[in-house]
Amino acid sequence: MNCLHVYLHGHKTGALLSQGGALSFQYDPDYLRLATAAPLSFSLPLRVQPYTGPTTEAFFKNLLPPDNVRKRLGKILHLSRHNIFGFLQAIGGDCAGAVAFYPLDQPGGGQSAPAYRPLSEEESVRILGELPLRPLNLGVDAGFRISGAGAQDKLIACVSAGRISLPLYGTPSTHILKPAVAAYPDSVYNEYFCMSLARRAKLPVAASAILTLAGGHYYCTDRYDRCHEQGRSYRLHQEDFCQICGVDPENKYESEGGPGIKQCLQMIRDMRLGAAAQLTFFRSVIFNYLIGNGDAHAKNFSVLYRGAGMSLAPLYDLLSTRVYPALSAESAMKIGGEAVFNKISREHFARMADECDVRPQVVLDLLDALVAILPQLAQALAVELSRDYPSTIYAKIIAVIAEQVSRVALAR
């Protein structure tokens, strides 16, 4: 039987065991006796008995990149893409939230003092360019054990004054960097535009910027699951809605059995996040519809923990997928029973509200409020961004917004 120590906020929480590929997790008795003990997941409440089965595996699997990325990583790390335990052992030193994994011969959860390796601009560009061949830049630097979910190639690192550093030996990463995706023109500008637009629409979003290296542009976002005090970075715990609902990340889309809007909203209620969180979730669903984001699945919605408090995490991974004809023209989560964008109408939003036991007028008022401001906000933002980052992608996104608005706007 293989074993990994599981840490939460630097405290040894329990042990992850693997026997014949089957995973089990058990909280440490000393941890359970702490007055401040917090569960690893809403789906794994504190208890003496070990956890086994699909829900347990789903939580830990959701901390890793998806299957297609693990397949590439496996060639570097000599691991089968199905070996969840092996990947957590290899790259689980810095995961989403405040979870970290360490072998038994590393008591205390690794190095306590922050350790970084600064990269030159030239080296940064080279590493970012090699991500398709070496995902997450793994297998080069000793002590660089970072895991990141999501299919898009990314570098998880630290950025200060435009310079990238690799955090080593358990030092928390603070930023996520994404190079342009060749198959989807101007993806960097697309994501930055959509994130900036959401912020102007008063939605909670992670801080983001465009980082310029050797004349090239890269999308850069702050990790919202990190906080900074007295010059040091610390982890905040979080989990996405696939983890909360105990759903395998390979089934993240509703069409494959993943959580839909009704299930996510019910979890917001079960976790007692409050009425404001429910309204924010609805506004986020509406915003993703209006920009044509077909990839707003359950893993792109998360809950953030601060001590005993819980809140919806800021939005991230906002992208207008409808501007790329090769991508699906469907929403990741159905709205009122409909997934196809050009079939979703005002009535579907009312039906969605009814399915969620919410008065339809509440959701329709949120819809009307965003419909009233988003086209103008998008036009002004495009003018502003075009000064430093000219691109035709802004006009395409604006056209998508106009098309979506025309289907759901209140008839005049």
pTM for the full predicted model = 0.93
pLDDT, tens digit, 9 for 90 and up, residues 323-346: 999 998 999 999 999 999 999 999
Report DSSP state, residue 179.
P
pLDDT, tens digit, 9 for 90 and up, residues 345-356: 999 999 999 999
DSSP assignment of 180-241 equals: PPTTSTTHHHHHHHHHHHHHHTT--B--EEEEEETTEEEEEEE-TTEEEETTEEEE-EEEEH
Contact 371, 346 (CB under 8 A): no
Residue 20: predicted pLDDT: 85
Decide if pLDDT at 111 tops 60.
no
Contact 118, 159 (CB under 8 A): no
Return the H-helix or E-strand segment holding 56.
helix 54-61
Residue 375: predicted pLDDT: 98
pLDDT, tens digit, 9 for 90 and up, residues 113-166: 788 899 999 999 999 998 888 877 776 666 777 777 777 889 999 999 999 999
Q: Which two tokens stand for residue 69?
A: 């990325």
Q: Which two tokens stand for residue 392?
A: 């035709």
- Angstrom distance (rounded) from CA 184 to CA 41: 35
What is the average per-residue pLDDT within 67-93?
87
What is the average per-residue pLDDT within 82-91?
90
Pick the CATH number of 115-222 from 3.30.200, 3.40.50, 3.40.1440, 1.10.8: 3.30.200
Point out the least confidently predicted range of 27-31, 167-171, 200-204.
167-171
What is the average per-residue pLDDT within 250-254?
93
Which of 39, 88, 83 lies closest to 60, judged by CA?
88
Residue 407: predicted pLDDT: 95
Report DSSP state, residue 266.
H
Q: Which residues are catalytic?
A: 295
Q: Crossing angle for the helix pair 84-91 and 67-77, nearest 10 degrees?
A: 70
Decide if pLDDT at 107 tops 70.
no
Rounded to 5°, the CA angle 168-88-305 comes to 80
Q: What's the order of all strands across the beta sheet hosting 237-240?
A: 237-240, 302-306, 309-312
In the chain, where the domains are located: 2-103, 115-222, 239-408
Which of 205, 194, 320, 336 lies closest to 260, judged by CA?
336
CATH number of 239-408: 1.10.1070.20
Q: How far is CA 266 from the centre of its chain?
A: 20
pLDDT cut 70: percent of the chain above it: 96
